Structure 1
């Protein structure tokens, strides 16, 4: 299902409109996604793992920071953050960043067709504050450093091949990335209060060693992409090199599907939707425009290709992953109990779409060494 911007409504600030983003919606939406009943029903009491889930769903803990992953000799990294899944024959691999500095990096868990962990291993080492990132169509994981003049590293979770630094993708306080195979670009978010929204156009699709970094600009209500003259960000930060750069308050997660790049900003608790064909940007969710908003502390984002639902994780709030449906309903999907000093990170579906992975970065201890990585299984819907 395409979540397109056919159904539009009132202008909310220059160049941004609130909208309903499903083509099948029978009436025009007046506002961004609104609080409503979840298609999965209400949350049950917390299970033995401290996870509150809808009826029919179960959880398990697949890895704990500073502890050996079951069935392997590998010690899971501290402060697990952004993640993604990759098909691996009849099984799959889940990769996860480590948001610590120094050290950083990323690790991976390999599952067989029944969901049993068969291996765990390091895919990136000796980097800084690896926060989020994004998967590519050629099965690599872009691990992003959330530090000034941070790099993007291309890692290879399926093969374990040596990671490669990708300086052409710019040096700034990276957060997340999302590959657009239609336009053959990679979208990038920046985690600062006056951050920009970028895209990287590789010289050759599938090879990130060279290309052009561009930044989204706005003038007179019109959006355009402009080349960043100096992607290494020194002495002038990449976000300050181009006139009329459009600003975003704390860029976080990033997810592309069906011609739309959804990304989040934590400073104003918004989910944005950039329509690549129309070259327009809309507000898909804003907690200040939603009575009794269930979703606050907006952070990582992913989606279900089977249903078109978005799943947005909280850093703070009620420690929830909330769903935003194609008919503009926002509601809790799960909640962690006893994780008040943590944040939810790295939501990602396995290739079949029936298992959702995510982490509690600091677990119940409030420390990165107490991180916990979960799997939720159940009847995820299809449309």
Structure 2
């Protein structure tokens, strides 16, 4: 099933019951996305920042690890990773994790309505290897520790107190995505035999207590699924992924993104993007590099993922060609940008400004291949609404 059809149904208010008809039952699942002409055209020559972009788009450097953020007195953190944007009056804030261990944490950059940097500061300290995470509908940033028995920390993009959320489980956390319809937070696990989880808060908007559940399915790449409670979310003495019989295994969970009754997440071990249709209770592959017709997969090393109101997914690469690729609602996958001269790095933290006109992301190790060489960028241009 094309995502355009699914999203259109969500937009016009199609109920979950409607998916019990021929749209789902007896119909084959769609083939994963295939290469084709992207909506933004071919990549041009590398710009002054070494980034290849389509016509009409420009890039600038926002911050560099170990250096003062322009216009502020704040030194940007090493190994920038997962990120998100938040509305701030007429401007916005971009938050970014630091994937170092120890002393990971997260920082933020504040922009005014013209996109000028007006501040930068620390929002989380003294944590470990903060990789990805996710924004909540109540404007907090969930920063996830990618270590064994790691925690989720709920942070304030404006600064102040950060709170460890023990009820969300202790495992090798990667990313999080909030679903206001089912009042759930979806969580990926960066293990070669990891699981996919959801956390159901006792009270929506308060993550201090709730129920951690794991995704269960009996088929390989598509079918129906259920959720089952994880008996012991603290992961000791038995890890969370080994507590529920029949929990589906995923090879290295990475990015996670929710929109319109669907959650997408990536697995780096097998270069896949998974699509979970929550209203229908089904899942399938949105992309698999091994199933690309004719070889030459444009997207490898799949990592962080975000999306736009047009239904496009933007997936960044850890390795590969150092690209961010777009997967369209018509199931076409194509490069959107490519970073040159940084083959020992990975692209992290893609996130759009609230108005959708600017894309933020980082090259975690930059040109040096070291965590102290991270570079955070902004790309501006005519993104599809």
Considering the TM-score relative to the shorter chain, is it more than 0.5? Answer: yes
| 1:329 is aligned to 2:328 | no
Q: For residues 265-312 of structure 1, what are the alpha-carbon distances to aligned partners after superposition, in whole Å with 9 as ceiling and x for unaligned?
A: 00110000111111111100000001321000000000011x110000
Q: Structure 1 319/6 Cα, relative in aligned 2: closer, same or farther at 3 Å? A: closer
Give the structure 2 partner of residue 12 of structure 1. none
The separation in 2 between residues aligned to 1:131 and 1:6, in whole angstroms, is: 29
**Contact kept? 1:59, 1:374, Cα under 8 Å:** yes
The separation in 1 between residues aligned to 2:75 and 2:355, in whole angstroms, is: 27
Give the structure 2 partner of residue 38 of structure 1. 38
Of 336, 360, 365, 1:362 maps to 365
1:141-156 correspondence to structure 2 within 5 Å: 141-156=141-156
**Contact kept? 1:349, 1:357, Cα under 8 Å:** yes
The separation in 1 between residues aligned to 2:33 and 2:279, in whole angstroms, is: 22
Deviation at 1:348, TM superposition (A): 0.2
Q: For residues 111-133 of structure 1, what are the alpha-carbon distances to aligned partners after superposition, in whole Å with 9 as ceiling and x for unaligned?
A: 00000000000000000000000
The separation in 2 between residues aligned to 1:150 and 1:123, in whole angstroms, is: 18
Local SS of the residue matching 1:38: coil
Give the RMSD, CA atoms, in angstroms: 1.7
**Contact kept? 1:299, 1:314, Cα under 8 Å:** yes
The separation in 1 between residues aligned to 2:4 and 2:319, in whole angstroms, is: 27
The separation in 1 between residues aligned to 2:80 and 2:305, in whole angstroms, is: 15
Deviation at 1:218, TM superposition (A): 2.0
Deviation at 1:29, TM superposition (A): 7.8
Give the structure 1 partner of residue 298 of structure 2. 294
The separation in 2 between residues aligned to 1:62 and 1:207, in whole angstroms, is: 33
The separation in 1 between residues aligned to 2:278 and 2:187, in whole angstroms, is: 14
Give the structure 2 partner of residue 270 of structure 1. 272
1:222-241 correspondence to structure 2 within 5 Å: 222-241=224-243
Q: For residues 195-254 of structure 1, what are the alpha-carbon distances to aligned partners after superposition, in whole Å with 9 as ceiling and x for unaligned?
A: 000000000000000000000112476421100010000000000001100110000000
Local SS of the residue matching 1:374: strand
The separation in 2 between residues aligned to 1:232 and 1:31, in whole angstroms, is: 38
Local SS of the residue matching 2:167: helix
**Contact kept? 1:3, 1:260, Cα under 8 Å:** no
Q: Structure 1 117/193 Cα, relative in aligned 2: closer, same or farther at 3 Å? A: same
1:81-100 correspondence to structure 2 within 5 Å: 81-100=81-100
Give the structure 1 partner of residue 161 of structure 2. 162
Q: Structure 1 310/6 Cα, relative in aligned 2: closer, same or farther at 3 Å? A: closer
The separation in 1 between residues aligned to 2:6 and 2:253, in whole angstroms, is: 21
The separation in 2 between residues aligned to 1:260 and 1:242, in whole angstroms, is: 24
**Structure 2: 5+ residue stretches without partners:** 9-22
Local SS of the residue matching 1:86: strand
The separation in 1 between residues aligned to 2:201 and 2:155, in whole angstroms, is: 17
The separation in 2 between residues aligned to 1:289 and 1:49, in whole angstroms, is: 33
Q: Structure 1 222/258 Cα, relative in aligned 2: closer, same or farther at 3 Å? A: closer
Local SS of the residue matching 1:70: coil
Give the structure 2 partner of residue 11 of structure 1. none
Number of aligned residues = 362
Local SS of the residue matching 1:239: helix
